Structure 1
Amino acid sequence: MAEKEGGVVAKGHEEGLKMAISLLEEFGLPLGLLPLADVIEVGFVSSTGYMWIVQKKKVEHNFKMPSKLVSYGTDITGYVSKKQIKKLKGVLKAKELMLWPPVN
């Protein structure tokens, strides 16, 4: 893939997890934003901000605030910059329950 050209790659769960955490810290993103399991590869291209994460299986995570169940696929990609991720792909579904009580 042309997007990955010139990227730094960490292979294996331990090294990939370290790199993912360091990217989140570097760009001021919450550390729990990308719950990862069985990481195969994490990569980052500093010139474009393109990052990718490959996992063995999809991961479901329930965020407490706000209460939301999110499923992450095996391939997660996006462009990171200060305090944001653009064009994020690999988030399969996000379920949110909203209740609208009647007000009198």
Structure 2
Amino acid sequence: MTTETKSKRFSFEFDVFSLITLAAVLYLAYSAHMTNMKNAEKLNGLLSKYEQTLDMAIANDKVTLARYQKNVKKAVQSLSPKERELMLALLEIEKSKERL
């Protein structure tokens, strides 16, 4: 008696329908991704505009501005020294961006 061992190899078989289905799925995924990216850009623009409007409204209202500054000072005082240092560094970066 002889025993034969066959090594099974993994093979792919593509027919035309599978290839078309794969292409359609990839196209739909890409299309959905691009739509999501466009929507994210629009949302980011709206949020930026809202933030600017809110900042302007706070700056123009003396009572709200004073309350806002008081809350910011409280928040900064509650930070640890390392967190405060990091916050100040981030503010410096933001100020340098505005100058440009």
TM value normalised by structure 2? 0.24
The structure richer in strand per residue is 1
Greater relative contact order (Cα 8 A, min sep 6): structure 1 or 2?
1
TM value normalised by structure 1? 0.24
Tell me which structure has the larger Cα radius of gyration: 2
